[in-house]
Chains A and B, each alone.
Chain A
Amino acid sequence: MEKIFLHKNGVITKQGKKLTASVLKLLGNTIEIDEVFTLNSFFMMVKKYPDLKNISEVLEALLEIISKNCSSGFKTEELESLLFYKTIEIEGFPGTPSLNFYTTLKGVSNTNIIDLKFFHLENLLNHKLKLGKLKHVVFGDKEDVFQYETFYTLFDLVEGIAWELSFNFNPIECSIRR
């Protein structure tokens, strides 16, 4: 599948050419992202290609929050970068055996993976975003997770990040971390 490239300024290019047509045709394309692509780049991309806003109910609201509070945005020192990755999880007990698949956005500090839901959105914007390996969790054993190379589509990224950030409507005054 042809790759598309997501630039730091939110521009999408395919075979070196800037995308001018509708972005919908590219939702299934695999992506490669700029080394310095940040969460802010992600929102710049959503703004540049407004069709992407229709992928999730919360994207418009998140853009609104960013535009209102952009002056207070800074990089929290608790994180080094952001990691977006897929997980395949097989569960056996309790409950009916099942195989689940989901994407996750987490913070990275040293080698630790950090939950983002207690952070304010504004404080995450300037962190670099990386695409991680696929994690394979068997029967809930998160201590011994297999990791594999994988790919991400534009849809995976936009929909996955929107879902994850829908947990970040924390009031500014609420500064609880963990």
Chain B
Amino acid sequence: MFKKILFATTSSPACDAAAKIAFELAEKYKSELILYHVFGVPSHGGGFSVTDYLTGEEDDAGPDYIEFVKDEMKNTYEKLIEKHGEPRFEVLAGIPSTEILRFARKEGIDCIIMGSHTRADETGAARFRGIVGTTMQTVAQRARCPVLIISRPCATCFWYFNKIIFGTDFSKASMSAFKFAFKMAESIGCKLYLFHALDIDTSQAGVSPGQKSIEDKITAARARLEEEYVSQMNDFDNYEISIWEGIPYVELLKFARETSGDLIVMAHHTRDIDPDQALLGTTVEQVVLRSACPVASVNRPDRL
């Protein structure tokens, strides 16, 4: 399923939940796991000093320092290494999102795994600090492979998971997300939920839609789900179509709760615009922030 998995980590406790899933996923799919850490901003003029992202202190970034950072990472993930085997470590200075994307392209990475935040924020504080970390947002927008965003610890998700929820807004990028969700469901043999939330807040500006209008829209959405997605699933019949009406992220979270979904797969944005120009869609942001299960954000078909 994934030949190469890149786990982009800050090596801080905020990434612990993502680390567990990265190690388990790599073991399950016999993938090469690469732990990738960008530790600081290089000084101007190509010198050997860097400003460490975590401490804010300037350090001499010679070979000894890089070895020191690698040893620190090995200590951080000691228990996971003991259980799942030693991954490959890549450590360098630079702008994290740029370096992660560059490395992923160069190495032909099949899946990037990241935590949603660079720090273990309180839920109350999350509202003004931005929904997701800037690095994650940039990587998720531009990566050519699926980006798995983990915001909470999960004991059951990848090792045993059996319910994948594909949330669609029928955008062009949603087709890439569908292909990934279907490929996962087919290869694992698990249930695939095709979910669409009818956004009644925006469906009729200023006018409350009547029951008949909502029912017509649900019927149309079901037909579209069947035409666009079910038609591509050949003999695969372990699926269910659900269309709920309401605010998309709230409905998706409710649906994931009700079905005990293990993985939510979504496209990044809500409109058919160039993926390079797209901001992380509001629905994805809200879901990533609150979802109890991992969220896979898929924007392009390149590495599916």
Contacts and interface: CB of A to CB of B under 8 A. Distances in A.
Interface string A32-59: 0000000000000000000000000110
A172 to B, nearest CB: 7
A173 B253 contact: no
Contacts, number: 78
A76 interface: no
A102 B125 CA distance: 6
B210 interface: no
Identify which of B154, B256, B289, B292 gathers the most chain A CB atoms within 10 Å of its CB.
B292
B257 A87 contact: no
A174 interface: yes
B153 interface: yes
Nearest to A57: B247
B257 A117 contact: no
A29 to B, nearest CB: 22
B260 A94 contact: no
A173 B256 CA distance: 11
Contacts of B125: 87, 89, 100, 102, 104
B124 A164 contact: yes
A61 B153 CA distance: 24
Contacts of B289: 167
A87 B124 contact: yes
B46 interface: no
A158 to B, nearest CB: 15
A170 interface: yes
A100 B56 contact: no
A69 B24 CA distance: 33
Contacts of B123: 104, 115, 117, 163-164, 167
29 contacts: A57-B247, A57-B250, A61-B246, A61-B250, A65-B257, A87-B125, A100-B128, A104-B122, A104-B123, A115-B123, A117-B123, A163-B127, A164-B123, A167-B123, A167-B290, A169-B256, A169-B290, A169-B292, A171-B257, A171-B258, A171-B261, A171-B293, A173-B156, A173-B260, A174-B154, A174-B156, A176-B153, A176-B154, A176-B155
Q: Which 10 interchain pairs have the tightest Cβ spacing?
A: A104-B124, A171-B260, A169-B253, A170-B292, A102-B124, A169-B257, A173-B260, A61-B250, A167-B123, A57-B247
